[in-house]
Structure 1
Amino acid sequence: MSAAPDKPRRGAALEIAGLRKSFGDKIVLDGVNIGALPGESLVIIGGSGAGKSVLLKCILGLIPLDTGTILIDGVDMSEAGGDAREEVRNRIGMLFQGGALFDSMNVWRNVTFALTQGRARQSREMRALAVEMLEKVGLEERVADLRPSEISGGMQKRVALARAIAAGPDLIFFDEPTTGLDPIRANKINHLIRGLTTDLGCTAVTITHDMASAKIIGDKVAMLHEGRIVWTGPVDQLDRSGNELVDGFVHGRAS
């Protein structure tokens, strides 16, 4: 596989319609309708327990949905056969909340894990690709041979971001990308994500409760509340949404 392309390209379209998910008697997602256009950056905000993480797991196919559809470039991920589903999944990148780096592997093997499945193959080419990706996130080549435990939390987040973009995804998900970072490092990660997704031309979906992240990363923002999307709009309307739930969340006021 080759590195992410140098020129922007068309991202994948995401469309979610009527998505419902319950665990026993508890309804977590109650008819979610949301989408992202190719190349668009969608940010989903909401408080703890709103259903953000469950929504992300449903989109990624980690848990089955009860009803509804999740279309990626027109492919229904709940109905597609194994080959079609795997083809779409190969076009997806993911930045996990905690980074989820493998402590047993050095940094460059972590970055290229999706391309090698952890196997020792094409080592010279894979290391060169990893170094290229690390440079894109502002890390020096020397970091490539270190273990995750030997670098700071902010650097680990950058390594995880390098891994997420290594295969040149058309669609990339960010799960609380600034969790555990101080405001200065968080701001750098936000701007880095924004720049990289723009350069790649990919579609981005970010789950966050951090308003600074939402305003920097997003083109469009949707608020999830008690399992439903209660507001969707351009990021520049976030501070004047006209929705009491959104205003309360954005400005930290109890509803």
Structure 2
Amino acid sequence: MLKHVHRAKSSDTMSIVSTSNSFVGQEPAMSSRCSSVSSLNISNPVATIKVYTKCLRADLEYKTLGLAYSTTCSEVISILLNKYRMRHRDPNLFYMTMEINLRKLGLRTVFVLDNESCPAVLQSCHPLGESRFCLQSKKGGLVKIYDGELMPGSKYKSLLISERTTVDELIRILLNCYSSKEQVEQFSLYEVSKSEEYQRKLHHDDTPLTVQCFWPYDCDYHFLLKRNVDYKSKKIETSWNDQCKEESTMNDYENFFYI
């Protein structure tokens, strides 16, 4: 079930109330109509969606996108960040909401959409002009990554990330910052302290903000990006082994053929 908040506006007050009772008999109909893309009779494979994006920049009121009915909210967020050239921004810091305005009843409902929701499908469930989509932002935390191995001459990069952003996702953001075509698997993130001569390689699904929360106050701990030296050699070794297997197979075949 989609989470939603209903704001009822009177002449002198504005309150936030639940709309679960006011939509009895209407929500099941919406759910049944939006249960799948295949259930919709869609002649045009692309829908025009307007997304309000003021949370990115004050002067960016909205962006109009042509989306397939299978495009998810997560993909819409990535599209918007790429279009506005904000590849340094963490996609996990954003989410989408859908506003439904029932003008005849004087009601306005806001649904918080999950990452797998499809805006084009949801929009098709309502008359034109009754709904709109907004990009919203979450609070995050700042991390500093020493990334000299990725970009020679760079000392460190400070990024704002969410609490659930993993090490792999953080490395991907760094690669996007420098428009690098290298793979995430070529790098690892380390937790380092020079004074304590301490160094620990983080797991790919660790969350750096959580790790940072456990650092002692006023310490010299920091994150260090390192290149995996054995990444290429593993690929070379694999291809060499494959070649040996092929040669061995060919020799067996030749021996079998001539005997």
TM-score bracket for this pair, using the shorter chain length: under 0.3
Which has the larger Rg? 2
Name whichever structure is richer in strand by fraction.
2
TM norm structure 1 = 0.22
Instruction: Choose between structure 1 and 2 for higher RCO, CA contacts under 8 A separated by at least 6 residues.
Output: 1
Name whichever structure is richer in helix by fraction.
1
TM norm structure 2 = 0.22
